[in-house]
Amino acid sequence: MPSTQLFGEPQVATRAQEIRSFIIENLASHPKDIVATTAQSFEVTRMTVHRHLNRLLKDKKIVKTGTTKGASYFLKTSLDKTLIFQIAPETKADAVWGEFMQDSFSRLPQAVQEICRYGFLEIFNNACRYSGGKGIVVKTVWKKDSLELSVIDDGEGVFQNVQKALGLDDIRESVLRLAKGNFSTQPKEHSGRGLFLVARLFDVFGLFSGGLFYCKDNLGDDWYLEKTKTAKSKGTRVSMAIRFDCRRTLQQVLTKYASKPDGPDAIDNTEILIKLSQMEDEPYISRVQARRVLAGAEKFSRVVLDFQNVPTVGQAFVEEVFREFPARHPDVALETTHTNEDVRFMIENSLST
């Protein structure tokens, strides 16, 4: 006669399999409360559920972020994720990518993978080292033909950081300085080229901080800056969107802006969005405004001045930009783009006198 032990073993094994199967099937809809949901469904203790979760973690079928009450669980193969990390010396961007992101992104074309990896590593590393925050949230949202990758920290805020470092009166000037590139609040540690390049690698790049939203649309060759309703919110959110069929490559963008694409050096070429320098509805007529536009431009060898949505400019503005600045910095080549007829006339007229 078979022993009761032999009858019991398959039942125990089946019970464990049922619990783990339930966890896997319901994890996507219950990433934060899977322990309570499973315990209630099977009338077992939370400790029992944690034991099964640990087994699934050991088997690398699921991943975990956060600790204790803030823990979230996801399938290793899940595409849409919300991952939580503490900012600590042991939190490394490349390790996070390898453990939590790489499997999902490996299904993408190689060029898109490289852009996503570069963008993630740059932004996550910046948040860890320079945000002054305690935690980082990483979100991925996958659609039929594109994805959005966001990195959110609870630090001081990137625009506030720049405003404080430079003693700027208006926080909007911080956007202009960052958009130019080659700027860092800690220049001894890094050149500041990472954020500049990431903004040009993805199809759409968005930066939320200090009640401002700066967006660079590389598909439409457009950009905009607007105020948000969260002026008092802490931290920075960087959102990066890209299509799966994106033709842009990391090497193309690096080569376009940096003389040493494979090195950590600063970038050589930049574009300056003139419209970003405008405070309220002020016209572009003064030398003070021109100096605001060109602040930091001496760090580059080539500067393209983008006059998109700029209706006209004054003589003093033009003379400061196209006469005085080149005289002080003859090694910097200035070019223009998106100039309308009025702007072209003022530039040509001022330079001909």
Would you write out the chain's pLDDT as a tens digit for each of its 353 residues? 334 444 444 455 588 899 999 999 998 889 889 999 999 999 999 999 999 999 999 988 888 877 767 788 888 778 888 898 999 999 999 999 999 999 899 989 999 999 999 999 999 999 999 999 999 999 999 998 999 999 999 999 999 999 998 999 889 899 999 999 888 888 777 667 889 999 999 999 999 999 999 999 999 988 889 888 765 678 999 999 999 999 999 999 999 998 665 555 668 999 999 998 888 778 888 999 999 999 999 999 999 999 999 999 999 999 999 999 999 999 999 999 999 999 999 999 877 76
User: What share of the chain in percent tops pLDDT 90?
Assistant: 62
Cα distance between residue 195 and residue 200, in whole Å: 9
Cα distance between residue 225 and residue 217, in whole Å: 11
Residue 81 three-state SS: strand
Q: Which residues contact residue 86 at a Cβ distance below 8 angstroms, ignoring those fewer than 6 apart? A: 67, 134, 135
pTM for this predicted structure: 0.81
Tokens of 320: 């400061």
Burial of 93 (0-12, 13-18, 19+ CB in 10 A): buried
What's the pLDDT tens digit per position in 145-200? 999 999 999 999 999 999 998 999 889 899 999 999 888 888 777 667 889 999 99
